[in-house]
């Protein structure tokens, strides 16, 4: 190939010499240009192939870096959850695990060579992890009854696997199965990539498709929790989809209740291939009493001696049945030991008549007990203390409403942005959002024109225009109820502030330069200079060269679109005012106006996209972090749109005001009379602010926060939930009533969720709460 290339190159060098001799200089010059183009193509191909190879190398490096970062994020995510769930305080519960005796496991020869054995205890997690690593396929199914510690064991496995991670081991990631619908994602890896991108949004900062690469290339060990919490029809579909998705190298951990897993396997007519299936054993009375005694304070109530003795000797039969499960042990500890309450009621005939009544009593005591034991505190060193004081009866009422909400939507996962889907219809929500935005925009327009037509008339005209425009903007958006939150990690205090500041400086410089090079030239120069200063000064420090390049490309692309759109609209504006000031001047006005509006609009869209881009500095998303990120991004995008709209409106007002009689006697936007530069700027700022806010409504990355805010206000007005719902959910998690998995809240125990529904005052009363739902 090298020789052929040299021959071609030599031939191309000979051709011009021959032509110069035979045809003259003019023909030689033409052929030289053609040959130059031909020779440039291989050079371009070589450059592109080298860039592609660097891209492949960078991709492998990016996957490696993303994998390393993901391990840290998962560990940072689940360490606090381990503490919140008291998994090791004072020690893990001694739950025994053994191979299941049910016919739900693959043949032993497909699982491992030789005799199959798998036993262990939750308080000795190291040996269990080593047995898991010793399995050729590393596939494990964890079964048990309600409250038997299945999820707890899954969390313990995850933490131990991360703490002892070996080179080449996949990163364990615990995910709730509730969001997997095999009809939408037939392959496990496709759904897994989607969940990784959602639960760990900072992965996107390593490049597009990183989450998919991690899932497809075997870098993830999915720990799938709660097969039994799926709709019954979907459970066998998941078993079938798992068998169809798993390759020989794919590892897996799955949890489920025993009965539901057996039913799903029977309906699927296939067990989970090459997976070990283990099941929990009930705690013995001696083990339960020993654990409870370890939890008692140094100076316990004397009646605890009798209670523990009766658990050991079996005379408190129903209490012993309750504490034979990790759930019962946790309930007894939380309801009586932690708040230092006397246990005498546990031995009364009314409460101790059967195990179900005993467990129901413990659930009833749960909310008052945690509120008593953990009073509100703003101390940052007390992460498991609520930040506000709550009334016990209201907490129960609100949690009961949420339980019914989840029951009606057939899921265990509480996603804050899904509340609107079951409270409003799309059209109703669009009307409400548009009405609110229109009112705000109308006030801005009214304030802007008040000096010309009076405050009352200005407000009337502004509100009429703004409300109409807002309603149109609200109804045109079709995804109010389906918007996902903005999974962004915003460093607004540094990079955004620096960028906006420097852009402002550049714009001001351009205005000053307008006296020498013309207003349009000055503005363009200033914007470009400000962008350069902002990008190098305000962004390089925070995000590095790669992010700068991405931002530059994004802004240039959006500016280009804005420029073309602005020029087209400018021509239309110019033709529209031809009758007043003549075609030449009108086209000049239109083009200048369109240029500024187009560039400004492109700037707004580009900045909005950039601000929503995750950073590698973030970690795993939580319900509160996604809420804060979505709120911040929504407010900033709308405010930026309003600010840029007001600024450009003011400039346009001043520009139009200076066309006929000089800068001090110009025209207002659309007024057609000399009102002066000051009034022109005021009108422009007000109108631009209002219009910018309405336009910003359509440019926000996600409508989830606006939808949630209106929904929470409506539910709070009806007394169904507190107005500050996210604060309440956060405190409920701190109190141990809820748990989190990524951006999702769940009840700490599914049995607590079911108890709240079962013991609500009446189905009729609870169904009345659903009247708010569409």
**How would DSSP label each residue in 396-434?**
HHHHHHHHHHHHHTT-S-B-GGGGGGGTS-HHHHHHHHH
Average pLDDT over residues 150-170: 95
Q: At what angle do helices 540-576 and 583-611 cross, to 10 degrees?
A: 150
Q: At residue 74, what are phi and psi to the nearest 5 degrees?
A: -65, -40
- Tens of pLDDT, residue by residue over 260-287, are 999 999 999 999 999 999 999 999 999 9
pLDDT band at 710 (very low <50, low <70, confident <90, very high): confident
Report the range of poorest mean pLDDT among 70-84, 171-185, 461-475.
461-475
- Tens of pLDDT, residue by residue over 12-62, are 444 444 444 454 544 444 444 444 444 444 444 444 444 444 444 347 788
Q: How many CB atoms lie within 10 A of CB 661?
A: 12
In the predicted model, is pLDDT for residue 73 greater than 60? yes
In the predicted model, is pLDDT for residue 576 greater than 70? no
pLDDT band at 250 (very low <50, low <70, confident <90, very high): very high
**Higher-scoring residue by pLDDT: 215, 487:** 215
What pLDDT score does 422 carry?
Answer: 78
pLDDT band at 632 (very low <50, low <70, confident <90, very high): confident
In the predicted model, is pLDDT for residue 199 greater than 90? no
In the predicted model, is pLDDT for residue 175 greater than 90? yes
pTM of the model: 0.71
What pLDDT score does 692 carry?
Answer: 52
Closest CA to 496 of 596, 639, 622: 639
What pLDDT score does 221 carry?
Answer: 97
What pLDDT score does 353 carry?
Answer: 83
What pLDDT score does 85 carry?
Answer: 79
pLDDT-above-70 percentage for the chain: 56
Residue with tokens 């007043």: 580
**Higher-scoring residue by pLDDT: 484, 10:** 484
**How would DSSP label each residue in 566-614?**
HHHHHHHHHHHTHHHH-HHHHHHHHHHHHHHHHHHHHHHHHHHHHHTS-
Kindly provide the b/e burial profile for residues 380-391, where b requires at least 16 CB atoms within 10 angstroms of the residue's own CB: eeeeebbeeebe
Average pLDDT over residues 414-440: 73
Asked if 157 and 128 count as a contact pair (C-beta separation under 8 A), the reply is yes
Average pLDDT over residues 712-740: 93
**Higher-scoring residue by pLDDT: 351, 654:** 351
Q: How many CB atoms lie within 10 A of CB 662?
A: 11
In the predicted model, is pLDDT for residue 358 greater than 80? yes
Q: How far apart are CA 590 and CA 611, in angstroms?
A: 31
Which residues, at least 6 apart from 255, have a Cβ–Cβ distance to it below 8 Å?
A: 141, 142, 143, 150, 151, 153, 154, 223, 224, 225, 226, 227
Q: CA separation (Å) from 238 to 139, 232, 234, 632? A: 15, 11, 6, 37
pLDDT band at 8 (very low <50, low <70, confident <90, very high): very low
Asked if 511 and 638 count as a contact pair (C-beta separation under 8 A), the reply is no
Average pLDDT over residues 665-670: 32
- Tens of pLDDT, residue by residue over 102-152, are 999 999 999 998 889 999 999 999 999 999 999 999 999 999 999 999 999
Average pLDDT over residues 291-314: 90
- Tens of pLDDT, residue by residue over 311-327, are 999 888 899 999 999 99
pLDDT band at 742 (very low <50, low <70, confident <90, very high): confident
What pLDDT score does 34 carry?
Answer: 46
In the predicted model, is pLDDT for residue 240 greater than 60? yes
pLDDT-above-90 percentage for the chain: 38
What pLDDT score does 290 carry?
Answer: 94
Report for 338-352, 530-544, 617-631, 667-681: range of highest mean pLDDT: 338-352
In the predicted model, is pLDDT for residue 698 greater than 70? no
Q: Where are the alpha helices (DSSP H) in 355-391?
A: 355-373
Q: How far apart are CA 163 and CA 186, in angstroms?
A: 32
In the predicted model, is pLDDT for residue 351 greater than 50? yes
In the predicted model, is pLDDT for residue 234 greater than 70? yes
In the predicted model, is pLDDT for residue 411 greater than 50? yes
Q: How far apart are CA 153 and CA 150, in angstroms?
A: 5
- Tens of pLDDT, residue by residue over 479-536, are 555 666 765 444 343 344 444 444 444 444 444 444 343 444 444 444 444 444 333 3
- What does pLDDT average to over the chain? 73
Q: How far apart are CA 753 and CA 183, in angstroms?
A: 28
In the predicted model, is pLDDT for residue 620 greater than 70? no
Q: Integer distance in angstroms from the first to the last C-alpha of the chain?
A: 71
Whether a cis peptide bond, with omega within 30° of 0, leads into 742 is no
Average pLDDT over residues 235-242: 96
């Amino acid at each position: 190939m090298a020789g052929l290339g040299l021959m071609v190159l030599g031939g191309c060098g000979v051709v011009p010499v021959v032509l110069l001799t035979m045809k003259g200089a003019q023909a030689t010059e033409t052929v030289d240009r053609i040959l130059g183009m031909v020779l440039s193509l291989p050079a371009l191909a070589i450059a592109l192939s080298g860039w592609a190879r660097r891209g492949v190398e960078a991709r492998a490096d990016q996957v490696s870096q993303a994998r390393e970062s993901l391990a840290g994020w998962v560990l940072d995510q689940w360490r606090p959850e381990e503490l919140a769930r008291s998994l090791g305080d004072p020690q893990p519960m001694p739950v025994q695990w053994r191979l299941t005796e049910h016919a739900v496991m693959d043949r032993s020869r497909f699982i491992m060579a030789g005799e199959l054995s798998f036993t262990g205890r939750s308080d000795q997690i190291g040996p269990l992890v080593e047995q898991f690593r010793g399995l050729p396929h590393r596939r494990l199914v964890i079964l048990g009854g309600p409250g038997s510690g299945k999820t707890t064991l899954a969390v313990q496995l995850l933490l131990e696997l991360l703490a002892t991670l070996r080179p080449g081991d996949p990163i364990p990631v615990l995910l709730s199965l509730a969001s997997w619908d095999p009809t939408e994602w037939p392959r496990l890896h496709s759904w897994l990539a989607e969940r990784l991108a959602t639960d760990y949004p900072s992965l996107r900062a390593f490049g597009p498709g990183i989450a998919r690469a991690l899932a497809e290339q075997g870098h993830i060990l999915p720990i799938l929790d709660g097969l039994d919490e799926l709709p019954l029809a979907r459970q066998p579909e998941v078993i079938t989809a798992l068998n169809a998705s798993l390759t020989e190298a794919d590892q897996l951990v799955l949890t489920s209740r025993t009965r539901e897993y057996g039913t799903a396997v029977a309906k699927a007519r296939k067990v989970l291939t090459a997976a070990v299936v283990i099941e929990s054993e009930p705690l013995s009375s001696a083990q339960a009493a020993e654990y409870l005694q370890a939890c008692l304070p140094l100076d316990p109530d004397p009646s605890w001696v009798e209670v523990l003795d009766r658990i050991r000797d079996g005379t408190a039969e129903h209490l012993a049945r309750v504490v034979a499960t990790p759930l019962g042990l946790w309930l007894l500890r939380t309801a009586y030991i932690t708040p230092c309450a006397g246990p005498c009621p546990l031995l009364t005939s009314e409460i101790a008549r059967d195990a179900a009544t005993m467990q129901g009593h413990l659930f009833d005591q749960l909310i008052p007990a945690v509120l008593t034991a953990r009073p509100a505190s703003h101390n940052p060193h007390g992460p498991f203390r609520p930040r506000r004081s709550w009334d016990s009866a209201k907490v129960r009422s609100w949690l009961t409403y949420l339980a019914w909400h989840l029951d009606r939507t057939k899921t265990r996962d509480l996603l804050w942005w899904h509340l609107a889907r079951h409270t409003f219809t799309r059209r109703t929500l669009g009307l409400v959002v548009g009405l609110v935005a229109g009112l705000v925009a109308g006030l801005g327009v009214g304030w802007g024109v008040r000096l010309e037509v009076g405050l009352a008339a200005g407000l009337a005209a502004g509100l009429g225009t703004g409300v109409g425009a807002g309603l149109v903007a609200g109804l045109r958006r079709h995804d109010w109820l389906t918007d996902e939150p903005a999974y962004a990690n915003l460093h607004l205090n540094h990079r955004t502030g620096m960028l906006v500041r420097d852009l402002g400086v550049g714009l001001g410089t351009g205005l000053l330069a307008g006296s020498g090079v013309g207003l349009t030239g000055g503005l363009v120069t200033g914007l470009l200079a400000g962008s350069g200063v902002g990008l190098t000064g305000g962004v390089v420090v925070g995000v590095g060269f790669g992010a700068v390049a991405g931002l530059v490309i994004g802004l240039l692309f959006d500016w280009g679109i804005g420029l073309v759109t602005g020029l087209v609209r400018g021509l239309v504006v110019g033709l529209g005012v031809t009758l007043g000031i003549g075609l030449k001047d009108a086209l000049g006005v239109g083009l200048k106006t369109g240029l500024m509006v187009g560039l400004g609009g492109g700037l707004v869209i580009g900045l909005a996209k950039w601000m929503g881009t995750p950073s590698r500095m973030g970690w795993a998303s939580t319900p509160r972090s996604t809420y804060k990120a979505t709120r911040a991004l929504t407010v900033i995008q709308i405010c930026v749109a309003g600010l840029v709209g007001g600024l450009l409106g003011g400039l346009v007002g001043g520009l139009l005001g200076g066309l006929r009689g000089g800068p001090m006697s110009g025209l207002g936007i659309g007024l057609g009379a000399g009102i002066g530069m000051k009034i022109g700027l005021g009108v422009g700022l007000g109108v631009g602010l209002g219009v910018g806010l309405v336009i910003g409504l359509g440019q926000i990355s996600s409508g989830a926060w606006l939808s949630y805010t209106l929904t929470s206000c409506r539910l709070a007005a009806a007394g169904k939930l507190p107005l500050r719902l996210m604060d309440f959910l956060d405190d409920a998690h701190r109190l141990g009533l809820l748990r989190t998995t990524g951006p999702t809240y769940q009840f700490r125990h599914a049995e607590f969720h079911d108890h709240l529904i079962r013991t609500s005052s009446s189905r009729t009363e609870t169904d009345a709460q659903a009247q708010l739902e569409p």
